[in-house]
């Protein structure tokens, strides 16, 4: 059976120290919105040299591109959102799981910027575009957002997409709306997916049947900067959980975009249609849920074990009752299963093999459900205290529930798993 490496364990202990010093004392402020998460993330990057490592890795990549050693439009080989190769995947997952024990929102805000925005620009952008946006994003000096979801599309992200661009000479005009966008209220750089609104060649303007079905229109990918004319970012939503992550809406009203903002600067990107880009990111995002779930489960188990040893009823520690033992044992089995799924991902990264979309969906489905079940059982173990914010298990339960919707609802994951089996 795989185990965490000595390096992974050393990173874990160091991150725990950082969390205890820099995050736990501020959880209430993060949850209330009094404190934004971005400063903490930047302090994390500075403390562990993540910004410097990311900057060095990017500079090497850009130098290679300039020398013609790689081409724009190729995907990053990064094994984690922190950069590096597959050998560092375990280290990245350790950081994610440890942070999620205390503040999942810090991770989602960091993960969307580094795990979705950066790879999309890196995988689809020209050299000039990568030079323009990536230096500040990889170091988290600027915050990124990744905008696909719309109010009426939900899980039908591409078919139901209504945001569109039309050509205006060499430029494009963007209109539409995105919702549930992590970092949306505060993002400096936003990757936006929109459909190209055009008639098919040879179509008759008088016969709508000759025109391309809107569901099948080409999806293009653009990069927007905060403050552009016609681009509005909403105030943060109020949510059930992950309060330390700021989520909002984006509005586009006749936003003029030069071709330099179209990733790849071509409607026929070497990396494929915008759908292809998004699907590869879906897999990475769903795999990341395993690390997030592990953090929730481990923290719930730690709190419940401590509580079972100190809480007494009828003159006994509640840990002596078989029902409580069953709950703790079930949590431990969930922890082992989720951890082993994560090790499967790490092993694949080390071998340079990819995880299929179906397997990524299976991992996300199981791990998010396991984390939610464990967190709700933790509330039960604590009884009335579990309903009180100061005992923290209620926060873990709310955060865990979000994982069943985050990165695509679990109902959608089931269809992907089934399609993988039936194909």
Q: Which residues are catalytic?
A: 285
Asked if residue 372 lies in contact with residue 109, where contact means CB atoms within 8 angstroms, the answer is no
Question: In terms of DSSP H, where are the helices of 222-321?
Answer: 274-310
Which among 132, 96, 98 is positioned nearest to 114, based on CA atoms? 96
Cα dist from 371 to 159, 324, 336, 375, 400, whole Å: 31, 18, 12, 6, 6
- How many other CB atoms are there within 10 angstroms of residue 127's CB atom? 15
Q: How many CB atoms are located within 10 Å of the residue 227 CB?
A: 8
- Crossing angle (nearest 10°) for helices 274-310 and 322-351: 150
The number of C-alpha atoms within 13 Å of 21 and in the hemisphere containing its C-beta is 9
Spatial distance between the Cα atoms of 227 and 127, rounded to a whole number of angstroms: 24
Tokens of 170: 């060499």
Backbone φ, ψ for residue 312 (5° rounding): -115, 145
Helix/strand/coil for 166: strand
Residue spans of beta strands (DSSP E) within 69-217:
144-147, 164-168, 171-182, 189-196
Burial (0-12, 13-18, 19+ Cβ within 10 Å), 125:
buried
Q: What is the largest CA-CA distance in the chain?
A: 84
339: tokens are: 């951890």
Compute φ and ψ for 198, nearest 5 degrees.
-150, 155
* Main-chain phi, psi angles of 328, to 5 degrees: -65, -40
3-state helix, strand, coil in the chain (%, to 5): 55, 15, 30
Beta pairing class for 316-317 and 144-147: unpaired
Residues 6+ apart with CB under 8 A from 2: 340, 343, 346, 347
CA distance 191 to 183: 12
**Rounded distance, CA 394 to CA 375, Å?**
8
CA–CA separation, 101 and 414 (whole Å): 27
**What's 235's DSSP letter?**
P
């Amino acid at each position: 059976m795989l185990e965490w490496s000595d390096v992974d364990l050393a990173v874990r202990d160091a991150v725990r120290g950082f969390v205890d010093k820099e995050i736990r004392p501020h959880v209430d402020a993060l949850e209330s919105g009094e404190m934004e998460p971005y400063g903490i993330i930047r302090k994390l990057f500075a403390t562990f040299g993540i910004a410097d490592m990311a900057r060095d890795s990017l500079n090497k990549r850009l130098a290679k591109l300039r020398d013609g050693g790689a081409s724009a439009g190729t995907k990053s080989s990064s094994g984690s959102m922190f950069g590096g190769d597959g050998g560092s995947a375990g280290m990245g997952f350790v950081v994610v799981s440890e942070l999620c024990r205390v503040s999942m929102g810090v991770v989602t805000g960091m993960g969307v910027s580094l795990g979705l925005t950066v790879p999309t620009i890196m995988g689809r952008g020209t050299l000039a575009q990568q030079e323009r946006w990536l230096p500040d994003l990889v170091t988290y000096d600027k915050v990124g957002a990744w905008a696909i979801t719309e109010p009426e599309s939900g899980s039908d992200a591409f078919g139901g997409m209504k945001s569109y661009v039309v050509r205006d000479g060499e430029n494009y005009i963007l209109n539409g709306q995105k919702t549930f966008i992590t970092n949306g209220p505060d993002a400096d750089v936003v990757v936006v997916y929109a459909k190209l609104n055009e008639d098919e060649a040879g179509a008759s303007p008088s016969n709508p049947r000759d025109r391309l079905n809107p569901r099948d229109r080409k999806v293009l990918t653009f990069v927007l900067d905060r403050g552009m004319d016609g681009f509005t970012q909403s105030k943060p939503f109020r949510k059930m959980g992950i309060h330390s992550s700021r989520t909002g809406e984006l509005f586009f009203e006749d936003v003029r975009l030069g071709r330099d903002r179209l990733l790849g600067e071509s409607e026929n990107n070497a990396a494929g249609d915008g759908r292809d880009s998004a699907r590869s990111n879906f897999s990475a995002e769903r795999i990341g849920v395993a690390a997030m779930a592990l953090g929730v489960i481990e923290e719930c188990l730690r709190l419940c074990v401590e509580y079972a040893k100190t809480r007494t009823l009828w003159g006994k520690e509640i840990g002596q009752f078989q029902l409580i033992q069953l709950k703790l044992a079930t949590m431990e089995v969930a922890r082992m299963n989720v951890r082993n799924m994560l090790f499967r991902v790490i092993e694949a990264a080390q071998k340079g093999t990819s995880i299929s979309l179906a397997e990524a969906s299976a991992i996300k489905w199981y791990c998010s459900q396991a984390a939610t079940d464990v967190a709700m059982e933790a509330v039960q173990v604590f009884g009335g205290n579990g309903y009180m914010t100061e005992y923290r298990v209620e926060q873990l339960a709310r955060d865990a529930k979000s994982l069943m919707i985050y990165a695509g609802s679990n109902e959608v994951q089931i269809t992907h798993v089934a399609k993988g089996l039936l194909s």
